[in-house]
Every structure is written in C-alpha cells, then in structure tokens.
Chains A and B, each alone.
Chain A
Amino acid sequence: MRQEPLPPTLAIALPVLGAASILLTWQFLLPWLGVPAYIVPTPTAILGVFQKSLSLLLGNLWPTLIEALAGFAIGNLAGVLLAVLFVHNRVLQAAYFPIVLFFNTIPILALSPIIMLIFGLGMTPKIVIAAVICFFPTLVNMIRGLDSASSNEHELFRVLSATRWEVFWSLRLPRALPMLFSSLRIASATAVIGAIVGEWIGSDKGLGALIIQASFNYQSDRLYAAIVLSSGLSIVLFCLVVLIERRAIRY
C-alpha cells in the first residue's frame, strides 16, 4: 500500500530537524572523540570563517561564479544549437554524432590540461571546461527531446501543410523543453564543478584555488567554508533553473 504524504508542516520541519541533528552531532561528537580541528573543524568554526574572512571568500566566489555562469550559457547554447542542426540534417548527425560521443568518454580531468595548454591561464580555460562539461548531456537530451514528438503529431502538422520552421517552433521545440530543462538542472551543478576543476589545475583565484591552497596549508576551516560556498553556488543555480522551468512549462 502507498503511504500517505506527510502534512506540509512536517514535510518542511523534518528535513530541517534532520540537518540540525547531524550538525549538532558533528559539533559535539567530533571534539569529544578527539578528532583534531585541522582534520575536521566544527560547524561553528566553519561559520567563524564566514565572519572573519568574508571578503576573502566573496573575492574568490566571484571568479568561480562568472566562469560557471559563462560556461553554463556557452556549453548549453552550443549543445542546443548542435542538436537543432543534427535533427535537421541526418547526414551530419550520422557523420559526427559518434565522434561527439567518443569525446564524451574522455574524463574531464584528463581533458583539462589540454584545454589549459590551448587557452592559457586566465578565465577562458575554466569557462571552456565548464562549457564542455555542460555541453554533452544537453546535446544528447536535446536531440532526444526534439525527436520526441509522436508520429501522429507530425502527421497533424503535415495535414496542415506546416513548414519545417513551423514544425520546429510549434512542435519540436516545445516537446523538447522538458528534456532540455532536466539537462539544465544537471548542468547547474556540473558547471560549478567544471569551473572548480579548472581552478585546481592552474589558478590563484576562485573557490577551486582557495580549496587547493587551504588544504595545502592545513587551513581546514577555510577549506570547508570554500566547499560550503561552492555547494551553495550550485544550489542557487539549480533553483534558478527550476524557477525558469516552472514558468516555461505549465503542463
């Protein structure tokens, strides 16, 4: 039998209580067990970093934010445009889609040094890495989405003598939106990962650089604060995508 859904107040209160219980355990159990602060700092110590070094954290958040956003926009746009080209030209799709799939099998960590070699040390390689990581899921999902209209729907448009352009705008594109948004949701997290991976490999700015420096210097409270901030960035991007999705898809 299916369980009854929780009442709304409980549905909100329970996850909050769950998180609070873990934070409290973390705060009091670890010191009691004798785990040193340079290995795992307490939540209050991490919060302290936000008070003490807010400008340092925000100064490093900014470049990561720009790289992730730019990579998100460029990678997804490229994925969408190539998908549109592929569904309208099956010869191109047959010739190049397998190659695109092959590139997708190269781990992003292995690809990153090559991207660094080509684009140097500035923000550009980080944006490129974030874009590449967003590109593939969006391309694959968008191709499937654009092809997801039923044969009856295509026949309906043909009975009405619709042009290819009209079929695209009035049928294929709206049909593809749910799949596009599901890949955008994934991309909202992976774009941040891409930017941080790029900063790891070669940068003195950004959350990725801060994470590397803090871990080398055993500043684990700062390391954890940087991690909290990067996950916060992903969450904000994710929520933005969901907000736009709710406006775009009403059914």
Chain B
Amino acid sequence: MTIKLHADLTPNAIEAQRLDVGYGGRHSAVKVLSGLDLTVAAGSFLSILGPSGCGKSTLLRVVADLLDPLGGTISVLGDTPHAVRSRRDVGFVFQDSTLLPWRTVRDNVRLPLGVGQGSLTRQIEDRSEELLELMGLGGFGERLPHQLSGGQRQRVAIARALLGQPKLLLMDEPFGALDEITRDRLNDELLALWRRTGTTILFVTHSIAEAAYLGERVIVLAANPGRLVKDLDMRPFKQDGNRCSREDGTIVAAMADLRKALELAS
C-alpha cells in the first residue's frame, strides 16, 4: 500500500472543472463533453466506461494536450497539459498499437529518444532493453511489427509509452482488439506494472469486466453530450493493492451496478 501513502502527499494527477470539449470551434453545436468535473488522485488507476461517442477518448486527448477544451479548466500533475506533454510526463497507448512498420521492435520502443528531444527539459535514458524484458519481449528486439501477434504488438506499444518514465499513462482501449485470454493476461501484467511504478493510469474501455477488474475507481460517462453519470470506488470490493479475482462475488455485484449505469447512459 505504499502507493496510496505516496499519492496522498502529491497533488492530484488531474483536476478538471466544468470542462467543455467540442469540435468545430468555440460556438460549435457538437459538444463532446459538457461541464465535466473530475479529480483523479496521483498514483491511482481510473477506468473510464461509456457508450460510443460519450467522450472517453476525447477526455484522454484533452489530458494529453492533443485537443484544447472549449471551456472550463483542467490541470494535469498540477500544471497545464501543454507543460506536462513538453516534459514527457505523459505516455499514450492507442487501440491499434500504432507501431511504425518499418522500424524494428527495439527502434519502435526507442522512438521517444529520436523525436521531440528539442523541447525536452529532462534527460530520457535508453531503457529499451529493460522494458522489452519487462514486457516479455526479450528476444524480439530485431523483429519487425508485422512478425508479432496482436498482443505482442500492444506490449511493444506499452513499452514505448513507458520509455520516458511517464507519471501519467493514458490508455485508449489498448486491449480492445485482442482475444479474451490475451486480454486477461495483459490486464494482469498491467496491474503488476502499475503496482511497481506507481504511475497514474487512465484506462478507457468498452468492457465492464475489464474496467471493474483493473480500476481502483470506475467512472461511467453518458453520451450527447458526454457527462459523468456514475463514479464508483472499487476499493471496498477489492483486497489491498487493488487485487481481486475475476469471479469474486463482490466484484460481480459491482459489475452489475456498472452495467445498470451503462444501460441508462446508452
């Protein structure tokens, strides 16, 4: 439980107030998120559930400084999203692994060393070997992405996102395209990684089971416009260190609760 103690001393990872996000300018009719208030404690694992178009991915993009909000305020790690991105304190994992097919696995993991160094204010070490080892990709450094399975490619993408030792890891349905066995295995590996690093993780998913199993806290967003409809603390349902079994009765009860919220939101 060192993570929580540590987290209590640091500022919140994310503080958003009355956040409005939309496409097509300040007066656009298409509002993706409307008046969202959200606080995420540093070091926590937050799962974000919601139907398509509820703004789950959009929220991650605002945090990552890929998208400017139309209104409201957001602070990330006590700073602006832009400053956090420039410091490389944020890592992003996409649903498709987004590996560059012409680079070897090792060179894909090393991508953060090769680009964006000009704006970087801190030194990033080449930990690619260590990370490949950590993600179970020891002998795969010289392979090309097309020679890997879907699960392996996603592992490479996570290793790449971790290279800069980000304080915040944003994951946009990273395991959505994987088979269930591979997905479960990667869920466990991700939890182990989170316990070891203390990185704050925002995890977007379509799967209620995945959200409940991974998150210390699960929020449910509704669509049109995107807004928070459910905020469930999962810690009472779990043991220390966010541990639980997938078949545990209390987790199943929490999942039913989330399903109800999601049905109302859809």
Contact = CB atoms under 8 A, between A and B. Distances in A.
A152 B94 contact: yes
Contact of A161 (B95, B111, B116): B116
A249 interface: yes
Contacts of B100: 153, 170-171, 174
Interface residues of A, number: 21
Contact of A160 (B61, B102, B116): B116
A251 B144 contact: yes
Nearest to B101: A251
Contacts of A97: none
B114 A161 contact: no
A251 B145 CA distance: 9
A6 B146 CA distance: 26
A161 B94 contact: no
B98 A170 contact: no
Contacts of B66: 155, 158-159
A161 B98 contact: no
A20 interface: no
B98 A250 contact: no
A180 to B, nearest CB: 13
B85 interface: yes
28 contacts: A150-B96, A150-B98, A152-B95, A152-B96, A152-B98, A153-B100, A155-B66, A155-B92, A156-B92, A156-B111, A159-B64, A159-B65, A159-B66, A159-B85, A159-B90, A159-B91, A159-B92, A160-B88, A160-B111, A161-B85, A161-B119, A162-B116, A163-B115, A167-B115, A170-B100, A170-B111, A249-B102, A250-B102
Interface of B: 61, 64-66, 85-86, 88, 90-92, 94-96, 98, 100-102, 111-112, 114-116, 118-120, 144-146
Interface of A: 150, 152-153, 155-163, 166-167, 170-171, 174, 177, 249-251
